[in-house]
Structure 1
Amino acid sequence: MFLKNIISKYNLTQILLLVTALLIPLEKTSMRIILGIITLVVLITGKYTAFSNKKSWIKLSLTLLWIIPFIQLIILIILNGSWENWEEPLIIKLSLLLFPIFIFLGFELKKDFIYELIRVFLIGCCISVSICLLYALYNFLDTNNTTHFFYRELSYFHHPSYFSMYLNFAIGILYLNIISPYYQFEKKWSWTLIIAFTLFIVLASSRTGWISNFLINSTFIIILIKKQFFTKKHLLIGFAIIALLVTIVNVSPSLKIRFDEMINNTVYANQQSNSTSSTSTRKKAWESSTVLIKQNWLFGLGTGLGKNELNKIYDLKGYDSLKEDNTNTHNQYLQYLLDHGIIGLSFLVFFTIIMLFISFNDKYYLYTLFLIIMIINFMTESILETQSGIVFFAFFNTLFFYNWIDKKHKVI
């Protein structure tokens, strides 16, 4: 019945986008196939009259996040006569071009469809978490090793940092659903999923995920208390959950090591030139990136070339493990500044930081929530350098930016 309603209600492009929303938390390798199919469908069925609307061109400004690196690439090819090392990063970032065009030409983006996409995304998160836990349980029963319930061994489909990012966004959506039930999830299910996703994030051991989760939970709990959504029973349950989380961290050697490592390496990273912890790795990557940015701040080094130059800096500084792993900047803003200079960075800042303030001022709270999560993760990961990050950002950022422009279809 559910599938029948979907097929009768939406066109083919919309159905494929619903499939995309479902698969984002589940399966990244199939995304290129889905994008290829959507491209063919939009080329054949696209509403090209949309180009005549002046407002539509404002929407397409999103594609500048891909077009600027592409123009830079063409210039570098002309100057250097080589395509080597540039094509793969640009292909990975195709989602920044394709999703804005798909939605622009495919259909009128109405709030009911955005809510449907979000519901499907939440379902995808539920399925993904369930599969990860079942797979971890299967491995535990086979090996009697509890490490299968933590970090990369638990997060089967994506790196824990990226999967935690998805789940934190889902948690924020569920809190908004408790305040205003637009997503057709009962409150008891919203609370159940918030608790389940939070526990999974703790086990996944992504420190950026932990920070985001703490900020989201604490902020929304304060809002709910002010709006008198909480009873004494809810508060007791909340304290019990906090006590459970603290206990899990303290009794689990893996989680305790991750937490202690975060504190120690933040303070002492510079004293350990060959430390391989993720916190010290980031500090060294940021420091090395800054050296190159000072020399190439206006136009950047170009797509794909930054890594080669970073490896040279790592070699000079004795950061052997970073060189061996071909480590990127681990900060999306530094990455854009390194690759595309101040011009490229300005567009990324506009579509994230500036739009954060604008969306909050205009009370587009779902958009605001999404941007807060993206900005936090941009600070510690080069999110737009991987398919797991680029598809998530391009997909939802397009939805919310277009919705912000189309005031009549406003979502919360």
Structure 2
Amino acid sequence: MNISEKNFNKILHVFLCLIAVAMIFRKPCSLLIILFAAFNLIFLKKLNYSKTSLILIACIASPVLLELLMFWNNDSFAKGLKAIEKSTSLLIFPLFIIGNYQRVNFFKIAKTYAIVTTLIMLFFFLRFLIIYPELMNKYLNGIDLWEMGYQFADSIGIHAPALNMHLAFVSVCALYFIFESFRNQEKTIVKMARFIVFLLSFFFVLFVNTRMALINVLIGFLIVFFFEIRSKFNTKKIAITAAAVLVLLGGITFFFVQKNPYMKEKYSSVTFAYMDKVGKLDEIDHPEIKVFNSLVTRVSIWKSAWELSVKNLPFGVGASDGKPELNKYYKATNQQFLAKYEFPTHNQFLDFLLKFGILGPFVVFLYIFTIGYLGYDLKNAMILSFFLIFFTSNLTDDFLLRFDGIAFSGLWFSIFGSYWLQQKITLDKVPAVV
């Protein structure tokens, strides 16, 4: 089939933008990934690889390659295949995105992603106001404030921490492009539109209100500020923009804390309550009410996962058997609360240690820290912020178990890798158009 280079590039970017935006909707995104793979298979001759790009592809695909390597350790052939199926995007994305690395426009994709995702969140927020007015009334009256973000995420069909991981990156991208609009001396109306997108994106991070995402987005903002301030561009304009953004962020945060006093409690006493009950959660009266999302529950899970992992070294229990074996261990150690709710490991390093043994944590480290290396080498605030968001999210959760973590990281890792290859390999060093 013949197609012009211009049309091929357009279709490639439409696919990448659509997949990025649809990432919070599993079924539509899965269909888009299948169509994206089919499209690239039709034009297989356009793919181009080098030794460097193949090494990068191996890093991105390392989690699924580990699953294939350790497939023999699964108790169930069918369940082992199912575990691999969830990770196939870690092969599809690097093969077809890195294979087209010279055609990928990182900044254009990131800009489209930030704007469209924010508009989609605005639509679902307005929908939430209309369909669930009773929940908003409870929120405005200070009743059950802890549940609001989770209810909103559930109305979209995604887990709140996963949604807020996406929104944190969206907000960082939106802030980055505010500075870019001043750097490129765009029209005032464009600058105002970027401010509005940024404020809305940060509003949604606060509304969903998960701890790691809020901390990460604020640190991400600091990374963007740091890189902009140390750049060669007009320091006065950067300072004015930064001051305006900080005032607006402070105002929005103050408004939320006033309307949601539970935030003070959540980020202090609730998080660190009952730390003397690690491994003994059943001694707490109604633990599902008092410590369901507290640090003590996470630490109790980590303790059990570590103990079970040590017993199953050097090869682990198998990719399909991690959660069932952990649930059995909860019961064997008489931890009824953890057994009742069948908590997963909530730490990606421990999860892979449990499943794959000694190799597991090394693969997670390679996968995540290669993203950090790309950001550091490119001195790019968005990539470094993504690394921070994904790394810390996987310290308190296990996003390489979930589609919204696997595909999310695999897509952006491949896009970041393409941009890195453009800078390191392509002879044409003209900066990408933003």
Rounded to whole Å, the distance in 2 between the matches of 1:59 and 1:232 is 39
Q: Deviations over 1:366-412 (max 9, x none)?
A: 32222111111111110111111111111001111233233237769
Task: Find the counterpart in structure 2 of residue 109 from structure 1.
Answer: 102
287, 306, 319: which one aligns with 2:322: 306
Q: Contact 2:150–2:159 at 8 Å: present in 1 too?
A: yes
Q: Which amino acid aligns with 1:150?
A: M
Amino acid at match of 1:36: I
Is the 2:164–2:208 contact (alpha carbons within 8 Å) kept by the matching residues of 1? yes
The answer to whether the 8 A contact 1:177-1:187 is kept is no
Instruction: Please tell me the residue identity of whatever aligns with 1:245.
Output: T
Alignment equivalent of 2:204, drawn from 200, 203, 212:
200
Instruction: Answer whether contact 1:330 1:379 (CA < 8 A) is retained.
Output: yes
Partner of 1:32: 30
SS across alignment from 1:300: coil
**One-letter code of the match for 2:151?**
E
Give the TM-score of the pair, scaled to structure 2. 0.80
Partner of 1:258: 266
Alignment pair present for 1:131 and 2:153: no
Match of 1:85 in 2: 79
Partner of 1:3: none
Q: Distance in 1 between matches of 2:51 and 2:38?
A: 25
Aligned to 2:336: 320
| Contact residue 16 and residue 38 of structure 1 kept, 8 A | yes
Calculate the aligned-residue CA RMSD, in Å. 3.2
The answer for the alignment partner of 1:215 in structure 2 is 219
Count the aligned residue pairs: 399
Residue identity in the other structure for 2:87: K
The amino acid of 1:159's aligned partner reads H
In structure 2, give the amino acid aligned to 1:17. L
Whether the aligned pair in 2 keeps the contact of 1:329 and 1:335 (CA below 8 Å) is yes
CA, structure 1 residues 188+11, in 2 after alignment: closer, same or farther (shift >3 Å)?
Answer: closer
Report whether the alignment pairs 1:55 with 2:52.
yes
Which amino acid in the other structure matches residue 24 of structure 1?
M
Quickly say closer, same or farther: Cα 1:258–1:87, change in 2 above 3 A: farther
Is 1:397 the equivalent of 2:413?
A: yes
Please give the alpha-carbon distance, in whole angstroms, between the structure 2 residues aligned to 1:361 and 1:224: 16
Counterpart Cα distance in 1 of 2:344 and 2:161: 15
Tell me, what secondary structure is at the counterpart of 2:396? coil
Give distance in 1, aligned partners of 2:178 and 2:61. 34
- Alpha carbons 2:227, 2:381 under 8 Å: kept: no
Q: Secondary structure, in 3 states, of the residue corresponding to 1:278?
A: coil
Distance 1:321 1:152, change over 3 A: same
Structure 1 residues 152-231: aligned runs within 5 Å: 152-155=150-153, 156-157=155-156, 158-181=158-181, 186-221=190-225, 227-229=235-237
Structure 2 vs 1, CA of residues 358 and 45 (structure 1 numbering), >3 Å: closer, same or farther? closer
C-alpha displacement of 1:321: 3.3
Gap regions ≥5 residues in structure 1:
1-5
In structure 2, relative to structure 1, the CA distance for the partners of 1:56 and 1:215 (3 Å cut) is closer
Q: CA deviation at 1:117?
A: 1.8
- Segments of structure 2 that go 5 or more residues without pairing to the other structure are none
Contact kept, 8 Å, 1:273 with 1:318, in 2: the verdict is no
* Superposed displacement of residue 234, structure 1: 6.4
Give the C-alpha shift of residue 253 in structure 1.
5.2
Q: Give the CA deviation at 1:190.
A: 2.9
SS class of match (2:79)? coil
What percentage of aligned pairs have identical amino acids?
Answer: 18
Counterpart of 1:180, as a letter, is E
**Deviation readout 1:238-269 (Å, 9 max, x if unpaired):** 34642542342244255455334543337455
Q: 1:108, 1:220 → 2: CA distance?
A: 25
